Amino acid sequence: MRKITKLSLAAGLLVSSSACADSLSEAFANAKVKGEIKAQYFDVKPLADGKSDSILVFGGNLNVITDSFYGFKGGVTFQTSHVSDISTEGTNNFANTMDASGSVMSESYLSYTMSNTTAKIGRQYIKTPLIAGSGSRMIKQSFEGFTLTNTDLPQTKLMAIYAGKYQDRTDGNGGAGEFTKSKVEDGAYSVLAENKSVKDLTLTLQYLDVKGNTSASDKDALYFDAHYKIAGIDLSAQYYDTTDSNVDGSMIGFKASGTIGMINLTGLYTTTSDDGKVYSGVGSGADAAFTALPLHGGSVTYTKDTDTMVGVAATKIADVLMVAYYGQVNTDDASLPYEKIDAYGGFLQYVYNKNFSAKVMYESADFNKAALKDDDILRIYTSYKF
């Protein structure tokens, strides 16, 4: 009997081992593969000389995520970029954004999910108000670290984030971005809470602490926003309270959006304190200010003692989304070479099907100073997803 028991135990272990191997094999066999082939053309006329510089880049990405194996999943994303043509006179305006020929493994992570909690460690994309990589260029920014997400509380998402390295769009020398301590310095730590308990109301609160190379270069930010829908109108408010290298800054913003007939109208406003520039967070995607412009971003919006207003009109005809906007920046920051900026722009986006889309964007900023020329930007995006 004892011998039979031993044999049964051995057989059980063999069966168990075989089942685990088969399941692990199936986890890889059932992996989901998706990717994107992209082409991007940018033409800019910078302030310095008023001459047009342009760049044409081809590239794409490939993403693989395994099926779940006892709660574990693995994910990998490769990105590649190849400059086909570039024309610059003087300063290379694309050195840190688009001038990249090479490839990078932007995601390489292991995640584990138990009940309503997911932990993910390794290289990964992160998108929150204060920590976010931007995907508006050929190479999307990424982070190396750890995220923990929990949804145990009803209608509530909680997150804890640590980022120890950051991958930018380029390496500044014609290659794809690499993972370095740039931006995160000695580590970026963040917690976030999002709640939707009240019908039509979404509240988001996030805190970020970036440890500088010295205590004098520490940064921190508190961000809060509220979105409420009532009678077909979207109302939003946001608040920043930040410290960047011992310089305080704060911002408050408001947004209202509604539809009249076929046209959606949106009004946006932000104002900053006169203490210092507002710290927006880590990564170019950490640009949550309501008045951040699609192409110029929110760089001017975050300056101290600055009021920004933007009006947007959008409509969709057939498969074409058409958007036009106008913005005005007024500042009393004496350290800036301008007091007022008038900006206008728009874009057309055509979605042929779930795979192919194309977008043309244009934006012009007039700094209302004789010494500063208009800053014009044209971008053309095409994308095929598979």
Average pLDDT over every residue of 271-279:
96
Q: Residue range 195-217: average pLDDT?
A: 94
Residue whose entry in the numeric block shows the structure tokens 């075989």: 18
Specify the pLDDT at position 21: 34
Rounded CA separation 329/307 (Å): 6
pLDDT at residue number 219:
96
How many C-beta neighbours within 10 Å does residue 14 have?
Answer: 10
Q: CA-based diameter of the chain, in Å?
A: 99
Question: In three state form, how does the secondary structure of 263-293 look?
Answer: EEEEEEEEEECCCCCCCCCECCCCCCCCCCE
Token pair belonging to 127:
């998108």
Are the C-beta atoms of 132 and 92 separated by less than 8 Å? no
Q: Tell me if 247 sits within 8 A of 218, measured CB to CB.
A: no
**Mean pLDDT estimate for the chain:** 91
Q: What is the pLDDT of residues 167-188, one digit of tens each?
A: 999 999 999 999 999 899 999 9
Identify the band that residue 306 occupies on the pLDDT scale cut at 50, 70 and 90.
very high
3-state class (DSSP) for residue 29: helix
How does residue 22 score in pLDDT terms, banded at 50, 70 and 90? low
CA-to-CA dists, residue 9 to 6, 83, 198, 297, angstroms: 5, 61, 55, 65
For 53-79, the pLDDT digits (tens) are 999 999 999 999 999 999 999 999 999
DSSP per residue, 138-175: SSPPEEEEEEEEE--STTEEEEEEEEEEEE-SB-SSSS
- Phi then psi dihedrals of residue 383, to 5 deg: -145, 135
Provide the Cα torsion 99, 353, 345, 310; round to 10°. Answer: -110
